[in-house]
Amino acid sequence: MSYTVPLGPYHPALEEPCRIDLDCEGETVRGAEIRLKFNFRGVEWLAERKNFIQAVALIERVCGICSNVHAMTFCRALETLAGVDVPERARHIRLVVAELERVTSHLLWTGLAAEIMGFQTLFMACFALRERAMDVLEGLSGNRVNYGMNRVGGVTRDIADPGAIRSEVLRLREETLKKIAPVFLDDRTVRARCAGIGVLSGDLARAWGAVGPTARASGVPQDIRKAAPYEAYGRLDFHVPLETAGDVNARVVVRLLELIETYGLLEQALGTMPGGPLAGPEFVEIPAGEATARSEAPRGECFYYVAAGGAEAPLRVKIRTPSFVNMPLVAAMVRGANLADVPLINASIDPCYSCTCR
């Protein structure tokens, strides 16, 4: 018997509003149609009606989980337009905030994945660690989200005690390896729930332009931090985890291994923090022209295009979020899957509907 099952736009299995119409035959999904745009906020339109300083603050509100990477990428595009060099200390601080944000994002995802699988204890353990990472960001910036650390030409705040943050990062790494990683990597129940589910082949990932952990779990070795290094990434040593199975379990493994690599990046950046100023000129004039910038957000490549006409406001701001290219792949992942596995498959790409619909 064939029938259509609507999932969303508001549903306990969805973190944000989205609708997925599932064409089913019995309990087997034969096709899916994804519908977005339930949370449109007009951020790009608003950015073109603000001056450049106001636009930085506005664009940081594109996403609540990865707010910093949006503001940083926008500033990097403006710095390319203006020909501004960012001081080395500011580059390191930007990296530290970006990687701490990656920690909070990946721990959020692991917690939600655990909840969907029914591991309430593991869910609480993930969120307890995430709270401590957010405490570190609050100590740096005064905020748990929307940190306000970026400005054109550098950063707004210094890291007064890198050693203290480094010590907390080491403790977070130790507890992740002790409490979180063994369950996700070795537990038979997790493997039974995730292995062979929602498979995305490497060829399909390349053809559809998948990015971030979703792509790397299908064997696509694309990470902007390595492919086109920015800030201080080119001077630090880190590994890009890859898996080839392309299933939910592979996406779990890639994120866990990436989280551990992130702790190592933070340890290096905080241990080699150079001295110097936090920013370039106090007032930066943005000339006419256009520029792009790419950064590796927690979910994958974040792309910005900015055009300026020599006035105090941008002519055009175009944002492409990682979820914009990853979400259509869910329709391919759920084909042939059991209906009960759809929420976990959808969550495995760590979708952010609000920043995509911005």
* Rounded Cα gap, residues 342 and 335, in angstroms: 9
26-78: per-residue pLDDT in tens? 899 999 998 888 888 889 999 999 999 999 999 999 988 889 999 999 999 99
pLDDT band at 2 (very low <50, low <70, confident <90, very high): confident
* Rounded Cα gap, residues 39 and 87, in angstroms: 37
- In this predicted structure, the answer to whether residue 358 has a pLDDT above a threshold of 90 is no
Whose tokens are 């005690």? That residue is 161
Average pLDDT over residues 88-106: 96
Instruction: Provide the 8-state DSSP code for 294.
Output: E
The amino acid occupying position 133 is: A
* Rounded Cα gap, residues 328 and 334, in angstroms: 11
**pTM higher than 0.85:** yes
311-355: per-residue pLDDT in tens? 999 999 999 999 999 999 999 999 999 998 998 899 899 888 878
Rounded to a whole number of angstroms, the CA Rg of the chain reads: 20
* Rounded Cα gap, residues 323 and 103, in angstroms: 18
Q: Is 60 strand, coil or helix?
A: coil
Contact status, residue 298 vs residue 66, Cβ threshold 8 Å: yes
pLDDT score, position 190: 85
- Percent of the chain exceeding pLDDT 90 equals 73
* Cα–Cα distances in angstroms (integers) from residue 265 to residues 170, 289, 341, 342, in the given order: 11, 34, 34, 34
Q: What is the DSSP string of 139-168?
A: HHHS-SS----EETTEESS--S-HHHHHHH
Contact status, residue 336 vs residue 28, Cβ threshold 8 Å: yes
Dihedral (CA of 208, 214, 219, 223) sign? positive
Please name every residue paired with 21 in a beta bridge, in sequence order, or none if there are none. Answer: 6, 33
Q: Please name the fold of domain 38-322.
A: Cytochrome-c3 Hydrogenase; chain B (1.10.645)
pLDDT band at 88 (very low <50, low <70, confident <90, very high): very high
* Cα–Cα distances in angstroms (integers) from residue 338 to residues 5, 10, 44, 114, 177, in the given order: 12, 21, 38, 19, 32
pLDDT band at 12 (very low <50, low <70, confident <90, very high): confident
* Cα–Cα distances in angstroms (integers) from residue 69 to residues 101, 102, 105, 122, 278, in the given order: 8, 9, 12, 28, 18
* Cα–Cα distances in angstroms (integers) from residue 266 to residues 73, 91, 348, 349, in the given order: 19, 13, 25, 24
103-117: per-residue pLDDT in tens? 999 999 999 888 888
* Rounded Cα gap, residues 213 and 222, in angstroms: 9
161-171: per-residue pLDDT in tens? 999 999 999 99
